[in-house]
A = this chain, B = another copy of it.
Amino acid sequence: MKRASSTDELKLILDDEMGNIVNAEYLELVLTPGFVDKRIYAIYLIETYHYTYHNARNQALVATRPECRDIRYMKYCLKHALDEAGHELMALHDLKKSGYFSIDYKEMKDSDLPKPLMATEILIAYLYRASTTGNPLTRLGYSFWAERIYEYLSPLMAMFGQLGVEKSAMTFLVDHSAIDAEHAVEVDRAINMFAKTPQDWEDIEDCMKTSLRLKAKVMDAVFEEFVKLKKGTSDRYNFLNK
């Protein structure tokens, strides 16, 4: 297996992975007219809210570790954490705008939303571990794909649009298409600046692959939960059937 030692090579591996992680069976159903409806957007938003809630937190944790000695990398982590802070509120805003939630975030309790699906819990768990153990550069592998995911978001936005979701209820997706383009450049610069050893590149690549696959599982789980909802077997999303 060829290992990346540049962001260009990392990008090639990312493209390859992106091709492999699509669940063809699910995709066909999603594209079958009438199979999915707007409720899948609500499920997507809630799971997105859950893992996004932790992004700034686990990013900041990298900066607090004794192993994080390079002051420039420490500052990069803190700045990036600051940039990410509160992005989960966009998912919440979109959920409200779509008519599925009405509580102000300042008053909201954890129990006001269904708890994360198993796949989402696993993604969150992995990101905390990747941020708090081993090579402090590891988490850059998550940022590498997460900040350029906008390149892959257009079809998703088009699909949600066809389900009747308004643009004004897509701030999370729209914002990440716009802002993250800039972030992607910063992440590339950071990787090229801080990754020095083959081990650094390997750890970043492994984190990219692992977090990407776990994110793909979250998308699968969103779809599966939607199917359960249709069948009436969802144990947490029935409140969407109002």
Contact = CB atoms under 8 A, between A and B. Distances in A.
A121 B125 contact: no
Contacts of A66: 133
Interface string A225-242: 000000001010000000
A20 to B, nearest CB: 13
Nearest to A84: B78
**Residue from A74, A78, A129 whose CB has the most chain B CB atoms within 10 Å:** A78
Contact of A126 (B63, B64, B122, B235): B122
A128 B70 CA distance: 21
A125 B142 CA distance: 15
Interface stretch (A21-29, A43-51, A53-61): A53-61
A40 interface: no
A64 B75 contact: no
B71 A60 contact: no
A103 interface: no
A82 B86 contact: no
Contacts of A124: 129
Contacts of A133: 66
Contact of A81 (B63, B126, B206): B63
A86 to B, nearest CB: 4
A124 B118 CA distance: 15
Nearest to A78: B82
17 contacts: A1-B233, A56-B63, A56-B74, A58-B64, A60-B61, A60-B78, A61-B61, A63-B81, A66-B133, A70-B106, A71-B86, A71-B105, A118-B210, A118-B213, A122-B122, A122-B125, A128-B128
Given A1-B233, A75-B82, 5 more contacts: A1-B235, A57-B63, A63-B85, A121-B129, A125-B126
